[in-house]
Amino acid sequence: MRAARLHAARDVRIDEVPTPDAGPGEVLVRVRAVAICPSDLRLYQDGHASGVVPDHPMIQGHEFSGEVAALGEDVDGPPVGTPVAVEPSWHCGKCDVCLAGHENLCRNIVFPSFPQRDGALAEYIACPAFAVRALPQGVSFVAGALIEPLGVGIHAVRLSGVRNGQSVALLGAGTIGMCVMLVLKARGIDRIALAEPIEARREWPRALGAGPIAASHQELLDAGVEADVVFECSGDNQAVEQAMRLARPAGRVVVVGIPHPDQVTFDSTIPRRRELTVIFSRRSRGTLEEAIELIGTGAIDMGALPVRMYALEQTAEAMEATAARPGDMLRAVVEP
Ligand SMILES: [Zn+2]
Ligand SMILES: [Zn+2]
C-alpha cells in the first residue's frame, strides 16, 4: 500500500509499504479521510514528540475514518464496506489504571501516530475492533475523521463538571475550542465568552451565539468576564495563567490545549487566592458513542468545520497549511 512516511523533520515521502493484516481482534480499515491535528506538527517539524524520537520512518495521522476492508478472526462486525470512525486511543483494559476507569491514561496505551506506532496517513490501518464504530447514515468521511477531536471536547466538558446555568470562558477557537463549544451548546450551556487572536476564527463562534468575543483574554477581563469554568484550548503556554485570571473564585480551569513550549509558569497567587481547581485533560475516553450520537442526530454538525482537502501526495502541504494557521481553515484533511 502507499503511505506518507516521515523520514526526518519536514521530510515526508510517499513509500510503498506492506499492507497490514487484520489480526485477531482487529479490523482492517481502508482509510478515506485523515484530519491533520496541530499535535501532529511537533513530530513533523521537530522530528520528535516531546523528546520521543521515532525508531523508523513514521506514518502519522490519528484523526481518521474509512471503510471496513477485512475482519480479523473472532471479530464479527461491522461488515466489510461499512463506513466507520475510530477512536485512536487503544488501551489494554487490564492494568490498574484501566480497571479504575481511566482508559485514556492506560499504562500500556497504544496511540497510532505517536512514536513508535504507525498512524493513518496510508491506504490501510489495522485497528482493535473495540475502537471501531459504524458511522451513521449520511455522515461524511470528513465528519467521521473529526469524531476524534469531538471526543476530546466531550471528555474535557465531562471532566469540567460544568452545569447548566454556569458561565464559561474559552481560550482558542481552533478545532478543539470549537468542539468544546459545540458540546457545551448541545448540553444547553450557552453563556460562553471566547478569546481568539485570529479574526476569521471569531466568525463561527459568533454565529453560534458566543459572547462576548474578543481577540485576547485581556479584552475579556476588561469587559468584566469572570467564568465558573474556563477551557484553555489555544495550546499557548502563557494561556494557562490567562485562563486562571478569567476564573471566578472557587472556579475551575480545564487545560485541553497542549501547552507549547511544554514548560508552563504562572503567578500562583491567582489560583491560590481563588482556590481554583485546575484540571489537565488528556485526549478522550469512552466518548465514541456520544460523539457518534451527537453527529448522527444532527445535534452537532462537524461538516460545518472549515477544512481544506489534500491528496496523500500532498501530506507535507497539509502539514505546512496546519502550521500556517490560516483563518479560513481549521483542519487540513488528507484523502489517502
Ligand atoms: Zn488530534
Ligand atoms: Zn491499561
How far apart are alpha carbons 72 and 331 in whole angstroms? 32
**Considering just the CA atoms, what is the radius of gyration of the chain in Å?**
20
**36-50 average pLDDT score:** 91
**157-173 average pLDDT score:** 97
pLDDT above 90 (res 303): no
pLDDT in tens, 17-34: 999 999 999 999 999 999
| d(CA 80, ligand 2 centre) in Å | 29
Q: Is 121 helix (H, G, I), strand (E, B) or coil?
A: coil
CATH of the domain spanning 152-280: 3.40.50.720
pLDDT above 90 (res 262): no
- Fold held by 2-146+305-335: Quinone Oxidoreductase; Chain A, domain 1 (3.90.180)
| d(CA 256, ligand 2 centre) in Å | 22
| d(CA 149, ligand 1 centre) in Å | 6
| d(CA 17, ligand 1 centre) in Å | 24
**278-298 average pLDDT score:** 95
| d(CA 100, ligand 2 centre) in Å | 9
Is-contact 35 174, C-beta < 8 A?
no
Output the CA–CA distances (angstroms, integers) from residue 135 to 37, 120, 289, in the order listed: 21, 17, 10
**263-283 average pLDDT score:** 97
Q: Which ligand sits nearest to residue 110's alpha carbon? A: 2
Output the CA–CA distances (angstroms, integers) from residue 297 to 292, 302, 304, in the order listed: 8, 12, 15
Vertex 48 angle, CA 44 and 148, to 5°: 60
Prediction pTM value: 0.95
Is-contact 120 56, C-beta < 8 A?
no
| d(CA 37, ligand 1 centre) in Å | 5
How far apart are alpha carbons 141 and 336 in whole angstroms? 12
Look-up: residue for cell 461538516?
Answer: 303
Is-contact 332 63, C-beta < 8 A?
no
pLDDT in tens, 191-226: 999 999 999 999 999 999 999 999 999 999 999 999
How far apart are alpha carbons 170 and 160 in whole angstroms? 12
Confidence of residue 327 (pLDDT cuts 50, 70, 90): confident
Domain boundaries, the chain: 2-146+305-335, 152-280
Q: Which ligand sits nearest to residue 285's alpha carbon? A: 2
pLDDT number for residue 149: 96
pLDDT number for residue 261: 86
pLDDT above 90 (res 115): no
